[in-house]
Structure 1
Amino acid sequence: MYFLNNHTEFSLLYGTLPVSALYARAEALGLDTLVVTDVNTTSAVFELVRLCEEKKRVIRPVAGVDFRNGDEFCYVCLAKTPAGFAEITRFLTEHDHAGTPFPVSAPDFSEVAVIYPMRYLDGNPVLQSHEYIGIRPSEINRFWNYRQRVSPDRLVVLQSVSFQTQDDYELHRHLRAIDKNCLLSRLPEEAQASPTDWMVPPDRLAAKYANLPGILENTIRLLAECRFDVPLRTVRNKQVFGASAADDEARLAALAWEGFMRRYDAADEEARSRVRKELTVISEMGFCSYFLITEDIIRFAKSKGYFHIGRGSGANSVVAYCIGITDVDPIALDLYFERFINPERTSPPDFDIDFSWDDRDEIIEYIFHRHGPEHVCLLATYVTFQNRSQYRELGKVYGLPRSEIDALVDLVRKRSYGWDVPPPSDSYTATILRIGQRMDGKPRQLSIHAGGILISDQPLFACTGLKTMPKGFPICHFDMYTAEDMGFAKFDILSQRGLGHIKDTVEIVRENRQIEIDIHRVKDFLVDEKVRDQLRSHETMGCFYVESPAMRQLIWKLNCDNYPTLVAASSIIRPGVASSGMMREYILRHHRPGSYTYAHPVMEQLMAETYGIMVYQEDVIKVAHYFAGLTLAEADILRRGMSGKYRSRKEFRRIEEVFAHNCRERGYPDAVWQEVWRQIESFSGYSFSKAHSASYAVESYQSLYLKAYYPLEFMVGVINNFGGFYSTEFYVHEARRWGAAIEAPDINRSGELTSISGTTIWLGWIHLQSLEKKTIASITRQQKEGPFRSFDDFCRRVPIGLEQLLLLIRIGAFRSFGQSKKSLLWEAHWRWNDRPSAIEPLFGMEDDLPVLPVFSHDPLEDAYDELELLGFPLCPPFSLIGELSEFRYPLVLATDLDKFIGKPVTLLGYLVHVKSTTTRNGDRMGFGYWLDYSGEFFDTVHFPDVAKAYPLTGSGVFQMEGIVSEEFGHCQVTVSSAVKVPYRKDPRQMTSIPARQAGTVSLEN
């Protein structure tokens, strides 16, 4: 009624109220209009619209923005119409993009009301018809000094709302202290709201303004002039790609049938019928332009030679397959089109398109250029306080030392696992725990969604302001859930390193072997015996999505050698399936066909391929629809609920009741349908669509093909994309394991990136830690002018400081010139110290040098240099270790573990990776992945007592004892002890190297 400036929690680190709480308070006070004016953002606007629609618009929404320069309140702008909202968002966006402060006076808006603070009258302004002065309750007495400067009809009530209770006010102050990075006790007064900024009953507020006649009526009249009648689910996406909707329909059909002839046999009536059916549904639902825009993006990428993977639920579409958006054949995999689009689907579908990490930005630039910067933005996400992060922030607000903050966070962690922890004895800790709990899940800042892009029909200012991010791309002010409520179907333009591996490997093979590879011959790869053997032998390191220890174990246990099994493996490894016990059950049924019974004959019809186990999201839709009789709309709600993309559990629980009711009506025994429902619930938040898994499997097969036929080039491609499950060290090891000779960077052979010549791999300069980019650029530039003939020649041609030069010497970059490292180090220091100026050439005439002594050399020195400069040695790490403890049990290699099942063994392992997890009791345990001294891999389990007694402290070689176990052909060791073996002493710090003591154990023994 009188509240023109209301903040939600989207006034980041300022407001405290969720939109729903602000709405509930307005409802309780009987307001018929609710304004939301967050500080410099429009994030809450459509959340408010959604709530108002749900409540049948008993309360009318009004949208605006509270404009502030830092802590300085400038003015509140209220949209009188949707066009006025666009004026506000455009103004907000322009200043955000330019990084300039808001002006003292707002622009001359045409559909916006502007409310200034009372101090604005100090400048004796002439107010326009849309401008007002807001009087706060605390300013009423002081207003008499200004009453001659403003007409009474220009006055309105300015009661700000930022919280609702004393606890909210306390929370607000803590948020402000976090924002200001200051102690709570030193929080400036101007940085926080007034304690009275809450939504008081209207009659109490009105009474305060009794001596200002007309101000209440002005406020009510102004609110009546403002409207934001923008319904949700209004079509937001760009509706026409070409000249008209009819033209789009014809173009999509032409592309689909052209692709059909390329993808399928012309006589394939099943595929032909599916294309006809999909085209009809796509047209009826108005998605022709969505498909064409995506196809246009793919077409541009292909014109640049960029690879892509179309995945997600979009891969369920045969039309998407025919027009080249995906490479997954939905008919061959029996993919369910209704998972992607159906007339009853309650949320808009989207395509997930992966590009290489180094191509994605150019793709996004093309989209902005193609559709116009006012029609394209990246989707936002809210970074929230979670995972106990707020307790560290609050500890700083109270000035606690690091040790006390760590103890506080540990206390919170133990409580989260249900430990019986005594309550804190001091008031500070009690306050932090109470405030921290209130902060949990509250938005902290806007960030960029992983890949979501919106392409709108109208300029985006109609529904959001835009915030410019560091790369220059703008994001909207809302997240994917609000975008979905508004009717947007986003485009997910994602990046990954796996496609970079593939693209680079194809180029490297072309250069190194003069062989052209058509990497899109996926159907050939699926039946290639060499690729099948690669998969069967779980040789997957470097291969996208199937290289992790857990995935390698699963492939091993499934004896996986075909595409359908790999697709299933990509889904059953997800936490929802694995934690429910269904992953193990799937493996059992895979190995023992006929040893199980289906819960119901309908389940056999629906899921014979997965042995009656729900593995994919599509399974849930099918079961809900065909087994339980839910409508496709209800099944889609169920799918969203179990995929973690549904905010309200209320609707999800309603579907659960419908599911139970329908099953009872169909006469299913309670035990049957309850087991089916248990499987559905176990997916919670982690399930994949089958199409998603199939798309990942296609990319995995492309990687597997390259590794099977071109392993060395493939590993170079992996190394040069700096991404994967493992560090560079282990990809280098894998290349050596497949026959490569690994060379440290060489001044004439190496470039910025790693390269290959024949079977020799030359590490790139980029791997040399602390080597500056400008040094690399200078080296590569001079290499183009001709090879370096000597150390002196290099120093004359490349401008380089002494420290950078020493890095090159220590890594052995000049070894081809026949001089030892020590002589070069001596020479560099001697010449550098002899120079009068760093600008002059480093070296004079060669005969100026004195005669150098003969230096001794230990290969171990090179290993320590490599450890420091590359992060890993180029020799086997086992050659660095010193004394070993006596072996109580046989020392076993990875390849021999199957001969010791159930027996205690000793292992030496170089730590590759450890996965830490938490038991249900909150105890930490781990799973190790190791290299043995023959270069093969093995797995270990470290239960909580062992993990605590023998922590795996960083990389290195460990001497372990444990019991060998076997499951489905895969062996692992349950460790009982693990002690790190010390490396031999660094000879660079010694004058002489002592021999090993007699009686110690060594690998040579």
Structure 2
Amino acid sequence: MSAPPFIHLRLHSEYSVTEGIVRLQDAVARAVSYRMPALALTDLSNLFGLVKFYSYARNNGIKPLLGSDVTIANEADPDRPYRLVLLCRSLQGYRQLCDLLSRAYLAPRVRGRAEITRRMLREVGVDGLIALSGAGAGDIGEALLQGNRVQAASRARFWEALFAGAFYLEVQRYGQAQQELLVSETAALAAEMDLPLVATHPVQFLERGDFKAHEARVCIAEGYMLGDPRRPRPYTEEQYFKSGEEMAELFADLPAALENSVEIARRCNLQITLGKSYLPDFPTPAGVTLADFLRQEARVGLERRLQQLFPDEPARARQRAPYDERLQLETDTIIQMGFPGYFLIVADFINWAKRNGCPVGPGRGSGAGSVVAYALGITDLDPLRYALLFERFLNPERVSMPDFDIDFCQDNRWRVIEYVRQKYGAAAVSQIVTFGTMSSRAVLRDVGRVLDLPYNFCDQISKLIPVEANRPLSLAKAIAAEPQLKARIDEEEEVRELFDLAARLEDLTRNVGMHAGGVLIAPGKLTDFCPVYSADGGGSVVSQFDKDDVEKIGLVKFDFLGLRNLT
């Protein structure tokens, strides 16, 4: 049987942070079970989940369509921004989207929102992107709902001119207010202006039965109670992951709009290279290669170390051979594996720190087994004296990026990061994002609050969750391990409802933070590789990909760990 004539082009996963509860693997599995050949991820103003989604989709034979549901500034009324979906057609489109999202986060916030302006779109360029009009949340939809056809047509002309041949008018049916009026008006405008129409479905959760859990998630993020009659209710229980058949039935009157969802999927052909490393360019003297410069610096550095270790010249001559042999072996391996730049970059900022009054640790972890690191001043332990093995740190048979754990004095660490920013350019350097999740104990408290259950009641129940190795057990394991929990779930309806909702939200992404020590240095503009995020409009900048994902796309992480003992 052939695949249904529909592809989902709108999906808010858990990485939309405030209002999606779809786990990426579940979304891909659902697309596979519905025989959909492709699936889009369009989280709200971010690409946090992009690398994970790309890998899951490719590994399961699904074509990943990558984009974002972005907020567009409304110059006339800043309190009412518009929405637009941007999908990447190519690598160029991916870079444009990274640049646009980064600019939005680095610009001053509008009522706490990161917004893309029309000026940004023109400056960055959009020829690698496809735009969907945003249906009722877009500026065209707003004009149509107000009965202003002339304004709607003029706005549509603007977008069609900007996204030449890649702008689609969106129609949706998920039980929203004035649904049919908007569908018929949008279809009429599309016919009148000869613009393509596309049917989309804004997926916020996987199953119809997840609606209440999704509402709880929104309330947790926005500080409302579930039962509050005054809280905004923009979502409906129809926003689950519908099958192609369900969508075909829903839009039986607009078959071309269904076909265009497949056409858009055909037009998006973004391929991302994973697993190849891109080191920043380390400046070497004119005409000297990185490899030669590493050999040169390591030899000079080793000479200095040997003079410290063996001040007596005849003793030095007797001890030299094993050091020279080890240095030769290590430099050959480092060069063969393509990492001379990495060692030179790390040595440069560590030696700057030492010269400029920032205490640095002596080195720990497997990196302390390298004579080259010792010679360059990265570590301060003589590996031969302590019989430390270089192969534990770098091994040609197990190719992975070298990784030095470097401790800096807590109070001066920022100065070293600032030096790196100056040297490689602010646009090439950022820290790394981390995602906080809803652990079993925390999710019980969060869900209890939005259900308006007494604090002590929820606190008491969450404390019944056993802790192992400093981590609370998952809800399922806790119920199996703690008889009191099982008994209360069986006997008390409130506890049963609390656990049912909490289980659906457990371990979802709850908030965005910053990695304690990781710093990225890119070869050129960081946004050519991944977008950046800032919680406060440019104060602290982090990558939108976490530490595993930045390494997958080839950016190199340097650890700048703050250690109070060195202060």
Instruction: Output the TM-score relative to the length of structure 2.
Output: 0.82
**Residue aligning to 1:468:** 534
Q: 1:395 and 1:65 mapped to 2: Cα distance?
A: 32
**Is 1:300 paired with 2:352?**
yes
Tell me the CA shift for residue 325 of structure 1.
Answer: 0.5
Question: Judging changes above 3 Å, is the alpha-carbon distance between structure 1 residues 303 and 238 closer, same or farther for their aligned structure 2 residues?
Answer: same
Tell me the CA shift for residue 474 of structure 1.
Answer: 0.8
- What value does the CA root-mean-square deviation take over the aligned residues? 2.5
**Residue aligning to 1:184:** 226
- The secondary structure found in structure 2 opposite 1:472 is coil
Whether contact under 8 Å (2:429, 2:519) holds in the other structure is yes
Bigger shift: residues 162-171 or 312-321: 162-171
Q: 1:250 and 1:2 mapped to 2: Cα distance?
A: 53
**Residue aligning to 1:114:** 131
1:324 counterpart letter in structure 2: G
**Residue aligning to 2:483:** 420
Question: Judging changes above 3 Å, is the alpha-carbon distance between structure 1 residues 142 and 380 closer, same or farther for their aligned structure 2 residues?
Answer: closer
Tell me the CA shift for residue 468 of structure 1.
Answer: 1.9
- After superposition, the C-alpha distances for 1:840-894 in whole angstroms (9 at most, x for unaligned) are xxxxxxxxxxxxxxxxxxxxxxxxxxxxxxxxxxxxxxxxxxxxxxxxxxxxxxx
Question: Judging changes above 3 Å, is the alpha-carbon distance between structure 1 residues 244 and 204 closer, same or farther for their aligned structure 2 residues?
Answer: farther
Residue number among 173, 182, 198 corresponding to 1:142 in the alignment: 182
Q: 2:186 and 2:30 mapped to 1: Cα distance?
A: 33
Tell me the CA shift for residue 246 of structure 1.
Answer: 5.9
- After superposition, the C-alpha distances for 1:474-523 in whole angstroms (9 at most, x for unaligned) are 101122222233333310011111111xxxxxxxxxxxxxxxxxxxxxxx
- The secondary structure found in structure 2 opposite 1:237 is coil
Tell me the CA shift for residue 417 of structure 1.
Answer: 8.5
**Residue aligning to 2:37:** 32
1:66 counterpart letter in structure 2: D
**Residue aligning to 1:446:** 512
**Is 1:66 paired with 2:69?**
yes
Tell me the CA shift for residue 96 of structure 1.
Answer: 1.4
**Residue aligning to 1:481:** 548
Q: 1:143 and 1:440 mapped to 2: Cα distance?
A: 37
Residue number among 519, 522, 547 corresponding to 1:456 in the alignment: 522
Whether contact under 8 Å (1:321, 1:329) holds in the other structure is yes
2:202 counterpart letter in structure 1: S
**Residue aligning to 1:250:** 292
Whether contact under 8 Å (1:348, 1:487) holds in the other structure is no
1:62 counterpart letter in structure 2: L
Q: 1:20 and 1:246 mapped to 2: Cα distance?
A: 48
- After superposition, the C-alpha distances for 1:441-487 in whole angstroms (9 at most, x for unaligned) are 22111111110011122522233221125682310112222223333
- The secondary structure found in structure 2 opposite 1:67 is strand
**Residue aligning to 2:404:** 351
Whether contact under 8 Å (2:208, 2:239) holds in the other structure is no
Q: 1:193 and 1:241 mapped to 2: Cα distance?
A: 54
2:63 counterpart letter in structure 1: R
Residue number among 496, 501, 514 corresponding to 2:563 in the alignment: 496
- After superposition, the C-alpha distances for 1:343-380 in whole angstroms (9 at most, x for unaligned) are 23254231221111111111111112211222211111
What does 1:687-698 align with in structure 2 at a 5 Å threshold? none
Question: Judging changes above 3 Å, is the alpha-carbon distance between structure 1 residues 174 and 288 closer, same or farther for their aligned structure 2 residues?
Answer: same
Tell me the CA shift for residue 387 of structure 1.
Answer: 5.5
What does 1:243-282 align with in structure 2 at a 5 Å threshold? 247-264=289-306, 265-266=316-317, 267-282=319-334
Whether contact under 8 Å (2:440, 2:507) holds in the other structure is no
Q: 1:140 and 1:469 mapped to 2: Cα distance?
A: 38
- The secondary structure found in structure 1 opposite 2:354 is helix
- After superposition, the C-alpha distances for 1:811-849 in whole angstroms (9 at most, x for unaligned) are xxxxxxxxxxxxxxxxxxxxxxxxxxxxxxxxxxxxxxx
**Residue aligning to 2:261:** 219
Question: Judging changes above 3 Å, is the alpha-carbon distance between structure 1 residues 330 and 71 closer, same or farther for their aligned structure 2 residues?
Answer: farther
Residue number among 188, 191, 198 corresponding to 2:240 in the alignment: 198
What does 1:718-797 align with in structure 2 at a 5 Å threshold? none
Question: Judging changes above 3 Å, is the alpha-carbon distance between structure 1 residues 201 and 419 closer, same or farther for their aligned structure 2 residues?
Answer: closer
**Residue aligning to 1:283:** 335
Q: 1:197 and 1:286 mapped to 2: Cα distance?
A: 49
Question: Judging changes above 3 Å, is the alpha-carbon distance between structure 1 residues 111 and 103 closer, same or farther for their aligned structure 2 residues?
Answer: same
Q: 2:102 and 2:497 mapped to 1: Cα distance?
A: 38
Q: 2:558 and 2:264 mapped to 1: Cα distance?
A: 40
Tell me the CA shift for residue 74 of structure 1.
Answer: 0.8
- The secondary structure found in structure 1 opposite 2:292 is helix
Q: 1:498 and 1:281 mapped to 2: Cα distance?
A: 34
2:444 counterpart letter in structure 1: Y
Q: 2:130 and 2:26 mapped to 1: Cα distance?
A: 26
1:373 counterpart letter in structure 2: A
- The secondary structure found in structure 2 opposite 1:114 is strand
Q: 2:224 and 2:294 mapped to 1: Cα distance?
A: 58
**Residue aligning to 1:9:** 14
**Is 1:229 paired with 2:271?**
yes
2:168 counterpart letter in structure 1: Y
Q: 2:99 and 2:408 mapped to 1: Cα distance?
A: 32
2:553 counterpart letter in structure 1: M
Residue number among 125, 133, 137 corresponding to 2:169 in the alignment: 133
Q: 1:185 and 1:345 mapped to 2: Cα distance?
A: 55
Q: 1:50 and 1:342 mapped to 2: Cα distance?
A: 26
Whether contact under 8 Å (2:278, 2:554) holds in the other structure is yes
Q: 2:80 and 2:66 mapped to 1: Cα distance?
A: 22
Structure 2, unaligned stretches of length 5 or more? 1-5, 73-78, 144-150, 307-315, 468-477
What does 1:40-55 align with in structure 2 at a 5 Å threshold? 40-55=45-60
**Residue aligning to 1:814:** none
Whether contact under 8 Å (1:5, 1:35) holds in the other structure is yes
Whether contact under 8 Å (2:441, 2:463) holds in the other structure is no
Q: 1:152 and 1:193 mapped to 2: Cα distance?
A: 31
**Residue aligning to 1:364:** 417
Whether contact under 8 Å (1:350, 1:489) holds in the other structure is no
Question: Judging changes above 3 Å, is the alpha-carbon distance between structure 1 residues 162 and 364 closer, same or farther for their aligned structure 2 residues?
Answer: same
Tell me the CA shift for residue 71 of structure 1.
Answer: 9.9
Tell me the CA shift for residue 110 of structure 1.
Answer: 1.8
Whether contact under 8 Å (1:152, 1:215) holds in the other structure is no
Question: Judging changes above 3 Å, is the alpha-carbon distance between structure 1 residues 463 and 438 closer, same or farther for their aligned structure 2 residues?
Answer: farther
Q: 2:201 and 2:387 mapped to 1: Cα distance?
A: 60
Q: 2:551 and 2:89 mapped to 1: Cα distance?
A: 25
Question: Judging changes above 3 Å, is the alpha-carbon distance between structure 1 residues 191 and 296 closer, same or farther for their aligned structure 2 residues?
Answer: farther
Question: Judging changes above 3 Å, is the alpha-carbon distance between structure 1 residues 118 and 469 closer, same or farther for their aligned structure 2 residues?
Answer: closer
Structure 1, unaligned stretches of length 5 or more? 501-1005
Tell me the CA shift for residue 190 of structure 1.
Answer: 4.7
Q: 1:191 and 1:451 mapped to 2: Cα distance?
A: 40
**Residue aligning to 1:978:** none
Whether contact under 8 Å (2:71, 2:116) holds in the other structure is no
Q: 1:35 and 1:327 mapped to 2: Cα distance?
A: 50
Q: 1:491 and 1:187 mapped to 2: Cα distance?
A: 50
Whether contact under 8 Å (2:518, 2:557) holds in the other structure is yes
Q: 1:157 and 1:17 mapped to 2: Cα distance?
A: 21
How many residues matched? Answer: 498
- The secondary structure found in structure 2 opposite 1:332 is coil
- The secondary structure found in structure 2 opposite 1:137 is coil
Tell me the CA shift for residue 198 of structure 1.
Answer: 2.4
Question: Judging changes above 3 Å, is the alpha-carbon distance between structure 1 residues 282 and 368 closer, same or farther for their aligned structure 2 residues?
Answer: same
Whether contact under 8 Å (1:153, 1:215) holds in the other structure is no
Question: Judging changes above 3 Å, is the alpha-carbon distance between structure 1 residues 111 and 3 closer, same or farther for their aligned structure 2 residues?
Answer: same
- The secondary structure found in structure 2 opposite 1:34 is strand
- The secondary structure found in structure 1 opposite 2:47 is coil
**Is 1:434 paired with 2:500?**
yes
2:325 counterpart letter in structure 1: S
Question: Judging changes above 3 Å, is the alpha-carbon distance between structure 1 residues 334 and 437 closer, same or farther for their aligned structure 2 residues?
Answer: farther
Radius of gyration: which is bigger?
1
Whether contact under 8 Å (2:434, 2:515) holds in the other structure is yes
Q: 1:71 and 1:332 mapped to 2: Cα distance?
A: 68
Relative contact order, higher structure (CA 8 A, sep 6+) = 2
Tell me the CA shift for residue 103 of structure 1.
Answer: 5.2
